[in-house]
Amino acid sequence: MEVLDSSAFIREYTTDDDVVSIPAVHEELTGEVALRFDAMEGSGMTVHVPAPEAVDRVRRAAKGSGDAAELSDTDIRLIATALELHATLVTDDYAMQNVAERLDLPVEAIARDGISEEREWRFQCVGCNRTFDENKERCPICGSDLTRKNPA
């Protein structure tokens, strides 16, 4: 079973496996691409709404990896769907792939190479150079902006 991100519909991804998506993906699509979603749903694609517990687990994993600020609510719900259904996540989004890896979910990239390693991001102040595990609006020490850094 495969859980399809918006990019799967945009790039006309095809598979012989059972496919699933979520209502929020349909809401993101317009025109011919939205019709493609409708056609796939009409030919057997399941539209799933993940349980709040699965969504919370994905949010915690994204916070732990430092990807929370990079993921939309749709992204989180797609990963939660893959988690609940023990399915492969089909996406080109690197932050989604990183969180899926953290949750031991299989991922299939569509148009790009997938990630080569899981990353745990840190956030560094551009003013005082202090680093933090969590992203904040501003540095709590000097008030400057924070940037996302890979500690490796």
What is the SS3 string spanning 19-56? EEECHHHHHHCCHHHHHHHHHHHHCCCEECCCCHHHHH
> Closest Cα partner for 6 from 67, 14, 19, 26?
26
Q: Does domain 121-152 have CATH number 2.20.28?
A: yes
For residue range 32-86, what is the model confidence (pLDDT) as tens digits?
A: 999 999 999 999 999 999 999 999 999 999 998 888 888 999 999 999 999 999 9
Q: Which residue intervals of the chain bear CATH 2.20.28?
A: 121-152
Residue 54: both structure tokens together: 């699965």
Assigned CATH for 2-108? 3.40.50.1010
Q: What is the pLDDT of residue 115?
A: 47
Which residues, in sequence order, are CB contacts of 151 under 8 Å at separation 6+? 120, 121, 122, 131
